[in-house]
């Protein structure tokens, strides 16, 4: 027995590292690359290079009939912003405003939900209540969005009841409005906000809340000065997930909206798939990504984030 115990440390990695010599060293250093080789290659070829090739395609010139060639055609960007027949900038701003509104809605609605599950529910029910929050993910995205279109349509129960009660006039519609699109976005992404906030709330040491009470903080003070600052990273993770997902989404605007709610996501999809203006579509998608990057970077600098990566 003792022999085994004594030889054991020799097999350990740190000792190998010192005594191993060149071949061992090489083996040690190549292990992560060998392990990750396929994954790295996959992500490089099918994620990183496509993002770059998106930029390349945006700099092509040509038309759907004759095809496109790469010509460093930067003017596609100025055309989009300055002299475009299609108001792409409006679509972009509209998409961002809808996404920001939906994000705010998910924070306002999601925070009480996360708070309730984290602080007001006994341990054994927490998972069940979290499952209920994510339950709508079990229904296909397109179906659940279209079910809202079904329920909120002019012949649907909501408007029928409202009209019968004379609370809504005959020309009152829900579908086709900005409110419907924002509501749909917020509904679809609510769990993306609740889960990170819940994780952040769960991490709060209950003694800190007691300490706040001990120091004569009332409930409002405790919430504003202790709980809210400690959930900042959770809220940031939620904002990241919800805002990015909503900003480019074409589905809610298309199923719940109308001609006045046309957003950047639909514009990219239509430019690519319907009009086959590949360069315009690629440029729009590049612009969207850069704008999102700037907004989130600015937000991160202003609000501040600590350890967001382990929340996502």
Partner 1 sequence: MTAVLETEPVTTAQPVGEPIGERRDRKRPLLPIIYWVVIGITLIPILVMIIYSFNNTPTNRITFQWHGFTFYWYANLTQVSGLGQSFLVSIEIAVLAAIISIAVGVPLAMALERHRFALRGPLSAVVFADIAAPSIVVGAASLSFFLSAGVPLGYLTILLVHVTFCIAYVVVVIRARLSGMGHVLEEAAGDLGANPLTAFSRVTLPLLLPGMLAGAALALAMSIDDYVITSFVAGPTVTFPLFVYGAAKVGLPPQVLCFGTIIFLVALLIALLNAVVTRRGRAAR
Phi/psi of residue 62, nearest 5 degrees: 150, -165
Contact between 22 and partner 1 by CB under 8 A: the answer reads no
Closest distance of CB 21 from partner 1, Å: 18
Please work out the total of residues on this chain that contact partner 1, with binding judged by CB under 8 A. Answer: 97
Phi/psi of residue 67, nearest 5 degrees: 90, 175
Residue span binding partner 1 (CB under 8 A) among the ranges 8-16, 17-25, 71-79, 80-88:
8-16
Sign for the pseudo-dihedral over CA of 184, 189, 191, 194? negative
Contact between 43 and partner 1 by CB under 8 A: the answer reads yes
Q: How far is Cα 107 from Cα 241, in angstroms, rounded to an integer? A: 12
Tell how strand 60-63 and strand 67-70 pair up.
antiparallel
Those residues whose C-beta lies under 8 Å from the C-beta of residue 48, and which sit 6 or more positions away, are none
Taking CA atoms, 152 is separated from 66, 95, 144, 181, 256, in Å, by 44, 22, 12, 12, 9
Q: Among residues 8 and 165, whose Cβ is nearest to partner 1?
A: 8
Phi/psi of residue 264, nearest 5 degrees: -60, -35
Contact between 199 and partner 1 by CB under 8 A: the answer reads no
Residue span binding partner 1 (CB under 8 A) among the ranges 25-33, 72-80, 84-92, 168-176:
25-33
**Binding residue (CB under 8 A) for partner 1 from 49, 224, 298, 303:** 49
**Binding residue (CB under 8 A) for partner 1 from 25, 36, 61, 297:** 36
Q: Among residues 177 and 204, whose Cβ is nearest to partner 1?
A: 204
Binders of partner 1 in range 233-292 (CB under 8 A): 240-241, 244-245, 247-251, 255, 265, 268-269, 272-273, 278, 281-282, 284-286, 288-289, 292
**Binding residue (CB under 8 A) for partner 1 from 18, 23, 29, 166:** 29
Binders of partner 1 in range 123-162 (CB under 8 A): 127-129, 131-133, 135-151, 153, 155-157
Q: Which phi-psi region, left, alpha or beta, contains residue 133 (left: φ > 0; alpha: ψ -120 to 50)?
A: alpha
Return the number of other C-beta atoms located less than 10 Å from residue 160's C-beta. Answer: 13
């Amino acid at each position: 027995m003792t022999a085994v115990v004594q030889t054991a440390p020799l097999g350990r990695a740190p000792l190998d590292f010192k005594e191993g010599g060149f071949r061992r060293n090489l083996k040690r250093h190549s292990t992560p690359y060998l392990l990750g080789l396929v994954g790295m290659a996959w992500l490089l070829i099918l994620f990183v290079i496509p993002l770059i090739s998106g930029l390349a395609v945006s700099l092509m010139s040509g038309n759907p009939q004759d095809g496109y060639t790469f010509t460093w055609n930067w003017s596609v960007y100025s055309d989009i912003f300055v002299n475009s027949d299609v108001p792409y900038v409006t679509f972009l701003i509209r998409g961002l405003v809808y996404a920001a509104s939906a994000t705010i809605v998910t924070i306002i609605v999601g925070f009480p939900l996360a708070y309730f599950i984290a602080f007001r529910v006994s341990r054994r029910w927490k998972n069940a209540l979290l499952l209920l929050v994510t339950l709508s993910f079990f229904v296909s995205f397109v179906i659940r969005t279209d079910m809202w279109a079904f329920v909120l349509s002019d012949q649907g129960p909501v408007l029928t009841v409202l009209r019968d009660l004379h609370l809504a006039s005959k020309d009152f519609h829900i579908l086709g409005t900005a409110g419907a699109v924002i509501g749909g976005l917020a509904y679809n992404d609510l769990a993306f906000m609740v889960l990170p906030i819940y994780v952040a709330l769960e991490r709060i040491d209950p003694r800190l809340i007691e300490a706040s009470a001990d120091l004569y903080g009332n409930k409002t003070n405790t919430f504003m000065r202790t709980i809210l600052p400690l959930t900042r990273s959770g809220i940031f993770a939620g904002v990241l997930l919800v805002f990015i997902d909503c900003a480019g989404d074409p589905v809610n605007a298309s199923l719940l909206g109308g001609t006045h709610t046309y957003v950047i996501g639909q514009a990219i999809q239509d430019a690519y798939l319907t009009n086959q203006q590949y360069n315009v579509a690629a440029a729009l998608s590049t612009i969207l990504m850069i704008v999102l990057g700037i907004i989130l970077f600015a937000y991160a600098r202003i609000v501040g984030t600590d350890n967001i990566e382990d929340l996502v």
